[in-house]
Structure 1
């Protein structure tokens, strides 16, 4: 009888192990087989949400009021816009000599039923002539998620966290971090923020509500990056469910999505940013994470 029970227990253990592996298979073994979406990040200069919505200098303000997204108008010209701004010809009072105007990035996504995997890859731009604002980290990459509660996130991605009074903006206090209108964890009005830093070689799981917080989240499982020749690749593993400040993901749903790269030791607003896009979990979107 003891032998029989042992055999049954062993069989059940195998079944449970197989079931767990099937549900949580891990990241794709071969990313080359996962569809990639090409997204161009642009250098934004001084273009906070207040400038975008005012309409005096930004002609697209009227289109925004009609419900058109930033990507609807600008996705095909992001490179030209970034070059114009980085050169100092428009909305950049302190241009950095040699600053890249844009960075083309390939974005890939997949999931295993319980964890989202995001892979970003891009070629390292030529170094600029500016000072090292963040001497610890040559490169940082971050993405934000919103499940429909942050005002304007559906139109501008993470731009809703960019304000004229935030640090590194002209005349702003260095103590003022990113924030969103009416942001509060208690009401669910926040961006889920995840970041990887190259010099520190680790990931950060935070959020942006009434202020930006770089820790406290429980959803980030891992963040790893490497530079192979002149090409960076960074892979995030982010659990569907986490804790405070984590947006809960579910199959069949889409989320507002934006990301940014701080290149060449940049900090604050001196980064390259995406326009606003949609990330889908087994759902049609600009970037779709399909189950592996």
Structure 2
């Protein structure tokens, strides 16, 4: 269990959120659990599902049939993932030893103020995935150290695989066409990172939409933001996209991050529209690299933690969070830095997190090889970039787990499910229990 992060999260929850229930004291044994299989999707994109390569099903997908209309047999997700992860047309660069699926237990509850989503899953490694990339001093300058396992530099052995564990939830309130049937595959497209026909820097620089929104790569998007949903380059004008957003045609995306939100008891808040965007305000994490000097902005406070940097030998031996208001001090470029010294590439802060981006809280722990994460989301959010959950509502949801130092398509995903907050008379895959 990450004692520092758990304790700090509980304290800040009390300080920053008015809660009808104490989330640390909810009796989860009294809340029904739904067991799901999440599977490895490889490069099964929106385009592949609608192409002839998706033999025997592409016509049904194009006409809007649900994925589970075909994949409805027992252990379907396990069978798909275990096949794809080994390599082939949908996985050109398989990761050695990676399982094809993970079992996820989901529980849900709510009270007058919040929804509580509890997740449990076993990790692939015998340690919590709380490490993220670092800035490493090579004797002359500070350079990024550690990349996700799918990156070429890791596959070639030039960099170690270092990436945080994540638990993600995508939420639709019925306003995104097709999501109730095909879930997050609406957002996963050729051209995105680690997908077929990945973007080039020149293509991004020449793209009117990405230039207008100041983005340097291609990430998730919903089909309605493109004149041709299968071609990311065909972005609609920003004023048309603004109308789609105002009509609720976006997906809420909340992500618990084991390095960048966990240590301050938070879940970051974003959404998917023309890109995978952060909510208005400020996330609980930010870059620790100074764009001008290429040096860290902060280092650990040696008086408080006993060191100002670590080395590769200390990775995964304790918590290595750099928390601005708790254990960080401004970087001292004149300190006697040695080759191999490492400082986190991200600094996290509860105090700096603001606005709609700072809506969600969390309590999490890792014990006996298992993460337990409780996401806490206020009911009735009215922000322009949020889906406002309410008692009696039913929502389409998709779940994803990032595990074993990997990101992008290397995650595990669910077919779309339904979440009901009470919703008497309505059958949902997951029904939240009203707390006393």
What range describes the TM-score normalised by the shorter chain of this pair? 0.7 to 0.9
Which runs of structure 2 are paired with 1:191-206 in the superposition (5 Å)?
Answer: 191-200=251-260, 201=262, 202-206=266-270
Q: Is the 8 A contact 1:206 1:213 kept in 2?
A: yes
Cα deviation 1:92-148 (Å, max 9, x = unaligned): 111111111000100000100231110110111258xxx841866430111010011
Q: Is the 8 A contact 2:379 2:390 kept in 1?
A: yes
Match of 2:416 among 276, 281, 287: 276
Equivalent pairs counted in the alignment come to: 268
For 2:372 and 2:56, locate their aligned partners in 1 and report how far apart those are by CA, in whole Å: 36
Q: Is the 8 A contact 1:218 1:246 kept in 2?
A: no
Does residue 144 (structure 1) correspond to residue 284 (structure 2)? The answer is no
- Residue 279 of structure 2 corresponds to 215
CA 1:99–1:232 in 2, change beyond 3 Å: closer, same or farther? Answer: same
Deviation at 1:181, TM superposition (A): 1.5
Q: Is the 8 A contact 1:109 1:117 kept in 2?
A: yes
For 1:53 and 1:231, locate their aligned partners in 2 and report how far apart those are by CA, in whole Å: 37
TM-score by length of 2: 0.57
CA 1:68–1:170 in 2, change beyond 3 Å: closer, same or farther? Answer: closer
Which runs of structure 2 are paired with 1:81-160 in the superposition (5 Å)?
Answer: 81-126=80-125, 132-133=147-148, 137-160=163-186
- Residue 189 of structure 1 corresponds to 249
Instruction: Give the gaps of 5 or more residues in structure 2.
Output: 1-17, 127-145, 150-160, 201-216, 226-243, 281-355
Which runs of structure 2 are paired with 1:11-22 in the superposition (5 Å)?
Answer: none
Q: Is the 8 A contact 1:158 1:276 kept in 2?
A: yes
Helix, strand or coil for the counterpart of 1:185?
A: helix
Does residue 239 (structure 1) correspond to residue 378 (structure 2)? The answer is yes
The structure showing larger relative contact order (alpha-carbon pairs under 8 Å, at least 6 residues apart) is 2
- Residue 50 of structure 1 corresponds to 47
- Residue 32 of structure 1 corresponds to 29
Match of 2:390 among 234, 250, 253: 250
Deviation at 1:59, TM superposition (A): 2.5
- Residue 189 of structure 2 corresponds to 163
Q: Is the 8 A contact 1:193 1:205 kept in 2?
A: yes
- Residue 5 of structure 1 corresponds to none
Deviation at 1:66, TM superposition (A): 6.0
Q: Is the 8 A contact 2:148 2:163 kept in 1?
A: no
Instruction: Give the gaps of 5 or more residues in structure 1.
Output: 1-20
TM-score by length of 1: 0.84
Q: Let me know the Cα RMSD of the aligned residues.
A: 2.3
For 1:52 and 1:194, locate their aligned partners in 2 and report how far apart those are by CA, in whole Å: 25
For 2:58 and 2:180, locate their aligned partners in 1 and report how far apart those are by CA, in whole Å: 15
- Residue 73 of structure 1 corresponds to 70
